Structure 1
């Protein structure tokens, strides 16, 4: 909007500048033409005879002046208050001038128009009698242009303010229903997650009751009940994950919470003991190197969930005989936790997508592993909630490295 107005303002200013200058030149040309008969009077009767010549006096204004020159450019007479204080152009005779195409000059605050005066010696011969130059001050023109510039600036500022206000209002009007829809969606997710917990608990309890009486069930019925139990557990985890993400979204728009200090190294030690057993069951090596006395401010349960999700992914997508590593160190003002593996890896083009909800790589799907695609979305939500950051490095067939930075307490 501002660019359009700037271009328009420059165009308007240039148009008026050219038009006003053209009007000034035309007025001076008319004055010189009206005074042209006086040159013969001056040459024959002298300057005194100008007092009786009224042909041009009615056109002469207070901020103008007229000069008469002979054919050699010598000043013969002058009248008025404003004069072009420079000699007549020495090469004016070679410019092929006439009364319709005068010589226009501008120096400082004065503009001048010069025309040649000819008389007929015969029907085919002209004689150059001399030149007439009319001059005037540019002050009035400059004042008009200054007013125009001021008006354009004020208009531009007004347009800019109005466009900013209208743009802000329009943006607010557009964003408001979107924000409301987003709020309703989050509220629906939270409500649905809450309402689904009781039915799922009832289903799970009923399934467990039937499984406790497996001797009364046929093999086919037992298999179907096992499928129901597995699906119920999966849906229960999905509901809990969605509920957690919904709560995290709400908290992200409120003022940050003040967390207590917690020993991150002790949390990771407990997780290392637990996942070392899980890795051994899958015939994986598990390596951990944890620095001591690393304190951060945070929610202990959420941080456990953060690193549990990362370690579960590493074990899940690392083949038998591989290795999973857990490192903790201090890096300037941050605690740096690295979870590394030599698993299947992630294609480079998919790395920006892995934190999206319900996203799973095709290669992960082919691994026939359980998962809903919310684990890394939860990881990122917890990291952001704790004012940290997470980086990912991965290469297909080589492995992955997740680096989590959390501010030290």
Structure 2
């Protein structure tokens, strides 16, 4: 928009300047044609008295030129013979400009000059002889001042137009986004409401299945597999509903109602490692940690435990047998950096910006993780955000991945 306006302004300015200079040239040519009638008289007079210096003709009423224009418009007229010798001049504004008959129109500083040749009168073009030249000069100061004022007006008008256009665009954008924002809010509200309402019937189904499975004597052998499938699906649905409800809460101000306390992060991570150690042993994965003592952060312990649990479970799921998963904690200034590194299958570089999107999973990873919902990393990122933190990832296919969480550190409290 600004570029188009700027190009248009320059184009209009150049067009107007071109037209004004054309008009000025026509006026100067008219004056030169009028002064050309006096060339022979001035030439004969100079020859009769052998005049060597140019004659000033400002007040010679015999000359057929508009004297009023000469005095009011800062113009001047100069007469030259065929050899370029100055014979006389008239006018209020007579500049000292070298005479060059080969240049018909010239502009030097703020003076514009036009030269026309004068020939003897004859009906046969071949018999016309060059008698001399007439040069008309005029100051372009007034014209340039008008053009400067025009450019100043264009600049001010363009600035006002840009400001008004920006305000109008912002207002129109806001108006056009209102339906989208309203739909988005309704979608978030629906997700929260649906997740909340689904918890009760899922709890009933889960409890009923658990009661039935606690009394195997009442179950027909053909129905045992069906009940296990129902129990597995119910657990998966329950986890999905809990994840959606958590994400819906992080999208609203409900997260502000969390009671934040000072948390010993080293103890929280050690407990998680002990909890997930059996899972690592089953898969033959080395699970190790490098955690300094007494590292404290402020936040909600349940949510932070879920954040690092999701990262560790994700690392264990995508690391093959014989691989390594490590947890490291480093404190720098007022921040604590927690790294979860693995030697798993890795993530393609084009997929890294998508790993924290909800329900996203790389196609190549689907067969490596059963029951995954694609919400674990999205939840981890949401929890880190609600704790004024940040989570980043570095990965290379076939080498492994490294997730780093940055949180605010706090002093130990007693």
TM-score over 0.5 (shorter chain): yes
1:31–1:60 CA contact under 8 A, matched in 2: no
1:24 counterpart = 2:17: no
The equivalent residue for 2:60 is: 50
Q: Give the aligned length.
A: 398
After superposition, the C-alpha distances for 1:311-342 in whole angstroms (9 at most, x for unaligned) are 22222333444433222232444322222333
CA distance in 2, matches of 1:337, 1:174: 42
Shift of 1:395: 3.8
CA distance in 2, matches of 1:201, 1:236: 8
Higher mean displacement: 337-346 or 352-361: 337-346
Question: Aligned with 2:344: secondary structure?
Answer: coil
Higher mean displacement: 333-342 or 377-386: 333-342
After superposition, the C-alpha distances for 1:103-145 in whole angstroms (9 at most, x for unaligned) are 2222222222222222258954333332222222212211221
Question: Aligned with 2:293: secondary structure?
Answer: coil
CA distance in 2, matches of 1:316, 1:407: 29
Q: 1:20 to 1:195 in 2, by over 3 A?
A: same
Cα RMSD after superposing both structures: 2.6
1:210 counterpart = 2:221: no
Q: 1:321 to 1:122 in 2, by over 3 A?
A: closer
CA distance in 2, matches of 1:348, 1:116: 77
Shift of 1:147: 2.3
Which consecutive unaligned segments of at least 5 residues does structure 1 have? 96-101
Higher mean displacement: 162-171 or 210-219: 210-219
The equivalent residue for 2:132 is: 130
Q: 1:28 to 1:198 in 2, by over 3 A?
A: same
1:84–1:111 CA contact under 8 A, matched in 2: no
1:84–1:112 CA contact under 8 A, matched in 2: no
1:383–1:389 CA contact under 8 A, matched in 2: yes
Question: Aligned with 1:408: secondary structure?
Answer: strand
Please list, as runs of the form range in 1=range in 2, the aligned pairs for 1:27-106 lying within 5 A after superposition. 27-45=27-45, 50-57=60-67, 60-62=70-72, 63-89=74-100, 92=101, 95=102, 103-106=104-107
CA distance in 1, matches of 2:108, 2:258: 72
The equivalent residue for 1:196 is: 198
Please list, as runs of the form range in 1=range in 2, the aligned pairs for 1:3-402 lying within 5 A after superposition. 3-45=3-45, 50-57=60-67, 60-62=70-72, 63-89=74-100, 92=101, 95=102, 103-120=104-121, 123=124, 124-251=126-253, 259-367=260-368, 369-402=370-403
1:38–1:50 CA contact under 8 A, matched in 2: no
The equivalent residue for 2:50 is: none
CA distance in 1, matches of 2:174, 2:234: 43
CA distance in 2, matches of 1:214, 1:164: 72
1:348–1:395 CA contact under 8 A, matched in 2: yes
CA distance in 1, matches of 2:369, 2:263: 37
Q: 1:122 to 1:362 in 2, by over 3 A?
A: closer
The two structures have a TM-score, normalised by structure 2, of 0.87
Q: 1:374 to 1:121 in 2, by over 3 A?
A: closer
Q: 1:198 to 1:78 in 2, by over 3 A?
A: same
The two structures have a TM-score, normalised by structure 1, of 0.88
Question: Aligned with 2:290: secondary structure?
Answer: strand
Shift of 1:256: 11
CA distance in 2, matches of 1:80, 1:351: 80
After superposition, the C-alpha distances for 1:342-401 in whole angstroms (9 at most, x for unaligned) are 333334443332222112233432235222111111111112222323232334444333
After superposition, the C-alpha distances for 1:244-273 in whole angstroms (9 at most, x for unaligned) are 011112249x98989433211111121122
Question: Aligned with 2:251: secondary structure?
Answer: helix
The equivalent residue for 2:49 is: none
Shift of 1:45: 4.8
